[in-house]
Amino acid sequence: MVPERCYPGRSVTDQPLRPPDLGLALPSFSLTAPTPPAGVPIVDLRSPSEYALDHLPGAINVPLFDDDERAVVGTLYRQRGPDEAFERGIEIVVAKVRELVDAVGSAIGHAAVRDGLEERVRRIAAGGTEGLGGRLETSELDELPADAVLLHCWRGGMRSRSVAALLRELGWPVVLLEGGYREYRRLVHARVGELEFPAAFVLRGMTGVGKTLVLNALERRLPGSTVDLEGLADHRSSILGMVGREPRSQKTFETGLCLRVADGFPTGWVAFEGESRKVGDIVLPDAVWKALTGGTSITLTTSTERRVQVLCDDYLATPGSRAELLQQLPFIEGRLGERWKGELCRLLETGREHELVEILLERYYDQRYGHSEKRHPVAHTVDSTDPEACAAEIAAWIAARG
């Protein structure tokens, strides 16, 4: 079946790949933008830690080497040279080739192949690094076949080429991603430097007023009208912002941001939640920071009771949240002074969460908010007690501005 959406600058054909033949160059394909072709399976052969740091959207990780194996091969390469590293790598692959092929087949919907895999690996690797490199050349395609499976490692080197040769021998329609993840990352980095946003509206307000709740309600009401920076970072942009979350890397954040911007802004404007220059460890790109500092500020307000409840609901939402909070609260205790040492943790341990949050708001967050928000003129103020009603009022107010 031909995917409905073609890759920008490329086309998809319904013609199948030529039969696999090691005498032919391995087919490869170059991306021209950070948005991968829709409907095309992508297999990432890098180690789990490489994949976790960042990966192509939708890519499935089938590591040729796990993290320990990669470290062993890398150490051999540095200390004893490429030939010994290559031989050790082949030993590892031969021992796990059935598992590898099963995993790739499962990921792309191909039946398992068992017979002769080890011998195929040895034959492909015959001649060592020099011989393998000379035989596994690539030939770039102008269009992706309809049944193609993209395969890549870090830079499109021996990891992906050798696996591609094996899988094409099995008759699987594998195409190498030219340049591997490294080239994809270059595309993302370049795109981040070119980002542009329409007129921006920035939701501001004290900690706990529910800015994220309102932003999400606005997105449900008007799809494509928001960019959730904290969602992309998986961090609440506060000293306790990582609690119950799995903060993402700068690279993963930038990949997600590029994909979001590529989807466009059908409303002709965009809403953000107000942030500092960093969201956790993520540094906001210049274009985002320009939109935030130059956007129209909308201040959200609600009662202290509501703020306390919003924060309790959010920060205690996961089973491990309490343990994580107990690890982080001593830092705030240190900021508040000697008399608070151990006190915030005791409040949490004795089930006095609401009292704890009230103290955090009064003595920590609200004071910092007052200093940081003075430089943002307020264009509109909305009660955020009901996030859906608040989003409706904001949407109507923006529409009335024309």
In this predicted model, what pLDDT tens digit does every residue of 42-97 receive, in sequence order?
Answer: 999 999 999 999 999 999 999 999 999 999 989 998 999 888 888 888 888 888 88
- pLDDT tens digits along 250-297: 999 999 999 999 999 999 999 999 999 999 999 999 999 999 999 999
- One domain, residues 231 and 377: yes
Number of domains within the chain:
2
Contact present, 178 and 28 (Cβ < 8 Å):
yes
Task: Decide if pLDDT at 164 tops 80.
Answer: yes
Distance CA 250, CA 279 (A): 10
Query: Comparing 131-145, 155-169, 180-194, which segment has the lowest mean pLDDT?
Result: 131-145
- One domain, residues 58 and 86: yes
- One domain, residues 161 and 205: no
- Please name the residue ranges forming H helices in 19-65: 48-53
Q: Which residue type, as a one-letter code, is found at position 236? A: R
Q: Is the residue at 334 inside a domain?
A: yes
- One domain, residues 280 and 350: yes
- pLDDT tens digits along 93-146: 888 888 888 888 888 887 777 677 888 788 777 766 655 655 678 899 999 998
Residue carrying the six token digits 């501001």: 204
Give the pLDDT of residue 259: 97
Distance CA 212, CA 351 (A): 26
- One domain, residues 307 and 371: yes
Contact present, 366 and 192 (Cβ < 8 Å):
no
**Of 188, 205, 237, which residue constitutes the final position of a domain?**
188
Strand partners, 297: 202, 378
Distance CA 32, CA 325 (A): 44
Give the pLDDT of residue 99: 87
Q: Which of 241, 216, 262, 198 is nearest to 57 (CA)?
A: 262
Q: Specify the pTM.
A: 0.87
Q: Is the residue at 1 inside a domain?
A: no
Q: Which of 301, 316, 273 is nearest to 385 (CA)?
A: 301
Q: Is the residue at 15 inside a domain?
A: no
CA distances from 303 to 300, 310, 384 (A): 11, 11, 9
Task: Decide if pLDDT at 12 tops 70.
Answer: no
Task: Decide if pLDDT at 226 tops 80.
Answer: yes
Per DSSP, the three-state class of 382 is strand
- One domain, residues 218 and 132: no
Task: Decide if pLDDT at 22 tops 70.
Answer: no
Distance CA 307, CA 73 (A): 53
Q: Domain range for residue 64?
A: 26-188
